[in-house]
Structure 1
Amino acid sequence: MTGRHHRKNVSLTAKIAGGLLAGTTLASTFAVAANANTLPETSGSGKGTVSAASLHTGLVLDGLTTGGTFENTDAAERTEQSSESRDESAEKSEKSDTGKKVGKSASADDFIKKAKTQLGIREDGSGKTKFQEWYSKTARAAETVERDGGSRNSYLRAAWCNMFVSWVAEETGTKDTVGQDAWTIAHAKWFKKQDRWGTTPKKGAIVFFNWQGKKSLDSIVHVGIVTDVKGGTVKTIEGNTGNAVLERDRKASQIVGYGYPEFAR
């Protein structure tokens, strides 16, 4: 399980192809938006890079005529009340969204507990899992395709250990602090850049491996979640180990380092 995309016998297309596709999608999006009287929205995660693949049209105008006059004060009052109702709904929605995005909403124990609910899930006959299916459809996948090249469908055939970690982060509302990626090396460097990288095992830490004992971030080939530390053994839960989600006992000699999410206490 080596290589830039930590892939399973798949050759991703050149990065420039992804760029051309993104440009075409962007042009189409704005064309549709103009014709349908809509505005484009953006969504994304990670460093905030938004690719054309993550744009979509929505936010349809409510049919009110702009620049005109109202026939009577009753109509104006009804419209004003409708506007106030929309403002209240938007405020409630914003508060709700904010609550979902709080990175420290789950503890390390919550994070581990959710990961353990997936124990025993295995690849199907074609090597696919729900984790690959999920990741390929995320806004983050659009960003990593833009970064690495290829297409969303490439993730359906790729090694999925980091997609499993990303899925647990999504499910527990901790993606802002756990991070989301499909490439283990990029994920480790993300922790390093934020000064949340080290060599001391901790419960809930994201653990990165190299089976030959190499210690550079560029040598990383696998990732998991630390569930406990006992003596010189680090207990983990990992995806894409034995083609399944399983618990493992790992030696320190196999570990490159740890990323430390900032969980709630």
Structure 2
Amino acid sequence: MLIHRLLDAPKNHLKAFAFGGLVAAQLVAGVTMAAHADSGRDGVVKVAGSEAAGLSKALGLPEGARHVSAQQLLKLAESQIGVSENSLGGGTKFHRWYMESPRAQETVARDGGKISDYANAAWCDMFVSWVGSRLGMEDAVGIDAWTVAHAKWFEQQGRWGETPRPGAVVFFAWNGSKDVDAIDHVGFVIHDNGDGTIKTVEGNTDNGKVQVRTRSTDQVVGYGYPTYAA
């Protein structure tokens, strides 16, 4: 049950259950762009003309583009560094977005509990999902709040592996297990350091913040590979 996963989560924020401020672009067909504004209700806001061009420029995206690169996704993820949870372990833009998304209703139906349970839930996977959604990459990055289910989604898509690539979604188990069901945490790979460690950007880390971290690959269960533009 969802509520059980929330209550059983460790207090150090390195938890398994987790799957706006800069406004980032969600790109749609042609030269029309829509952006999600972090205004309490996470509706789609139409933008056009110079504003649309400004959003594209902020992320280094060509105007009217429909796909983004790994580096462009990482730029958005890293722009959130320093965003922090409240004293209850929640209250971020990522929590608000997830609770108001259709996906929250689906995952409650799958896992049990109620949508309000997400308000102060572990949020590493909400952060990953928020970044993908802001760029219109829901089908490439996935949307979830439970790291185990998110990893299994990548497996089912045939986009799962053991190689750290920039922009890959990296799943961790702190006990060193390679079992997907043991996953505790998730983030994005920035790059492979080549020394048995990777540089990552993660939500719900470093006392409940978005931060860049260096992680041992011994703690990596596997990697999900979004589909990026060349």
Q: Report if TM-score (shorter chain) is over 0.5.
A: yes
Aligned-pair CA distance for 1:233: 1.4
Is contact 2:171-2:187 (8 Å) kept?
Answer: yes
Consecutive unaligned residues in structure 1, runs of 5 or more: 12-93
Aligned to 1:153: 116
Alpha-carbon distance in 2 for matches of 1:179, 1:235? 21
Alpha-carbon distance in 2 for matches of 1:112, 1:243? 19
Is contact 2:89-2:122 (8 Å) kept?
Answer: no
> Normalising by structure 1, what TM-score?
0.63
Alpha-carbon distance in 1 for matches of 2:129, 2:169? 11
Aligned to 2:202: 238
Aligned to 2:229: 264
Do residues 212 (structure 1) and 172 (structure 2) align? no
User: Which is richer in strand?
Assistant: 2
Is contact 2:171-2:220 (8 Å) kept?
Answer: yes
The C-alpha deviation readout for 1:140-184, integer Å capped at 9, x for no partner, is 111111111111111112100000000000111111110000000
The C-alpha deviation readout for 1:103-137, integer Å capped at 9, x for no partner, is 96111001000000100111122322111111001
> Could you list the runs of 4 or more consecutive aligned residues of structure 1 that deviate by over 3 angstroms after TM superposition?
3-8, 94-100
Is contact 2:2-2:113 (8 Å) kept?
Answer: no
Over 3 Å counting, the alpha-carbon distance change for 1:212 and 1:198 in structure 2 is same
One-letter amino acid matched to 1:224: G
Do residues 202 (structure 1) and 200 (structure 2) align? no
| Percent of pairs with identical residues | 50
State which of 121, 124, 137 in structure 1 corresponds to 2:86. 124
Consecutive unaligned residues in structure 2, runs of 5 or more: 10-27, 35-64
Larger Rg, first or second structure (1 or 2): 1
Alpha-carbon distance in 2 for matches of 1:139, 1:239? 21
One-letter amino acid matched to 2:187: G
Cα RMSD (Å): 2.6
Aligned to 1:142: 105
Aligned length: 180
Aligned to 2:41: none
Do residues 226 (structure 1) and 224 (structure 2) align? no
One-letter amino acid matched to 1:9: L
User: Which is richer in helix?
Assistant: 1
One-letter amino acid matched to 1:164: F
